[in-house]
Amino acid sequence: MIQESRIDQFNAFFRQPTLHPTVSVGELSRAREDFFDERGNDMYCVILMDSEFGRLSKCGKPLGYREGSIFTLKPGESASVALSYSVKPRGWILAFRQELLEKSGLGRDFYMFDFFNHDVESAFNLSARERGIIINCYENIFSELQEQRDYLTNHMLRLAIGQLLSYCKRFFERQYSEKVSNRSLASALDSMLENYLSSGSAAQQGQPTVSWCAAQFNLTPNYFGSLVRRELHIPAHEYIQGKIIDAAKNLLTSTRMPVGEIAEELGFSYANHFTRLFKAKTGLSPQQFRKTRA
């Protein structure tokens, strides 16, 4: 299951024309049978399984699902379905290439959609209301692809895809927060902060805060702070500062960036604020730390 290298190959599986070079939407009920065989994939995909029509595998491992489940693929991942011929495939798939993200707001904010990086044993399940919202998002993207292309086409597609991904994040985090554990909280928080600090977002939007982190988990700041303290035995703001210092150490040892540029990259308005925090956490100024690693 899932396409090879080009959108037109993907569309051939659905017997539909290629309407855009980097984006397509397909209805699983219209897919050729060989679409569900395993093959290479170089796109981001969001798949709604709207019937239980066979045994699903992702990257060679079984992936549990039920009617109304969603799972995702990123470039390099693959999926297949051993079809059950008594049940007709039903559902939707969105596929888009990396090029759509380049130099765009969707690409800048893509770090938010960290569910693409989660290694899970089952797809996440939607309620009836959530399923309706998600199907509407697919239909919006499909409808935009039918429009005559103009200078707004890519913008509209990115907005519609961003909406779908945002709802997926909301629904995933809702399910995730219900069963969060000590280990999974630390892993998710680490990944989120590392992506934010390494993507240039801090330079544009400022340092990650407790409120920002809480919003990514769809939690209130107070509840998020309590959860971190209870599960990780450290105040949330100190945990975040620790990840900022880790990022600073990496930049100090792996680049020749001036300290002022590193401070700006990590979201500090003033370099002396960065230097003060770094010394408080490590006992060394950034320059002294760099010299010890030279």
The mean pLDDT value for 108-137 works out to 87
- Using the predicted structure, report yes or no on whether residue 180 has a pLDDT greater than 60: no
Residue 1 domain flag: no
161 & 206 share domain = no
173 & 27 share domain = yes
21 & 126 share domain = yes
What are the angstrom distances between the C-alpha of 233 and each of 176, 195, 237?
A: 20, 23, 12
106 & 172 share domain = yes
The mean pLDDT value for 216-234 works out to 81
**CATH code where residue 85 lies:** 2.60.120.280
The mean pLDDT value for 39-58 works out to 94
CA gap 89, 30 in Å, rounded:
8
- Using the predicted structure, report yes or no on whether residue 286 has a pLDDT greater than 80: yes
CA gap 63, 2 in Å, rounded:
15
Concatenated DSSP letters for the chain? ----S-HHHHHHHTT-----SSEEEEEGGGS-GGGGS-----SEEEEEE-S--EEEEETTEE-B--TTEEEEE-TT--EEEEE-TTS---EEEEEE-GGGGTTSHHHHTGGG-GGGG---SBPEE--HHHHHHHHHHHHHHHHHHHSPP-TTHHHHHHHHHHHHHHHHHHHHHHHHHHT--HHHHHHHHHHHHHHHHHTTHHHHH-S--HHHHHHHTT--HHHHHHHHHHHHSS-HHHHHHHHHHHHHHHHHHH----HHHHHHHTT-SSHHHHHHHHHHHHSS-HHHHHHHT-
The mean pLDDT value for 158-175 works out to 89
The mean pLDDT value for 171-190 works out to 71
Residue 262: alpha-carbon gap to chain centroid:
26
Q: Between 184 and 41, whose confidence is greater? A: 41
- Using the predicted structure, report yes or no on whether residue 1 has a pLDDT greater than 80: no
CA gap 153, 151 in Å, rounded:
6
Residue 251 domain flag: yes
Last residue in a domain, options 178, 199, 223? 178
Taking all residues of the chain, what is their mean pLDDT, rounded to a whole number? 90
200 & 214 share domain = yes
Determine the structural domain holding residue 79 and report its residue range: 7-178
Residue 217 domain flag: yes
197 & 215 share domain = yes
With a pLDDT cut of 90, the percent of the chain lying above it is 73
Last residue in a domain, options 178, 209, 227? 178
- Using the predicted structure, report yes or no on whether residue 3 has a pLDDT greater than 60: no
Last residue in a domain, options 178, 199, 225? 178
pLDDT band for position 202 (cuts 50, 70, 90): very high
Where do we find the tokens 């590392």? 194
The structure tokens listed for 103 are 């130099």
Q: What is the pLDDT of residue 30?
A: 96
Phi, psi of 170 (to 5 degrees): -60, -45
Residue 2 domain flag: no
pLDDT band for position 111 (cuts 50, 70, 90): confident
21 & 140 share domain = yes
**CATH code where residue 269 lies:** 1.10.10.60
Residue 115 domain flag: yes
The structure tokens listed for 175 are 């399910």
Number of domains in the chain: 2
Residue 273 domain flag: yes
Residue 268: alpha-carbon gap to chain centroid:
25
21 & 154 share domain = yes
186 & 161 share domain = no
Q: What is the pLDDT of residue 178?
A: 58
Residue 130 domain flag: yes
134 & 266 share domain = no
| Cβ atoms 115, 187 nearer than 8 A | no
129 & 274 share domain = no
37 & 128 share domain = yes
Residue 159 domain flag: yes
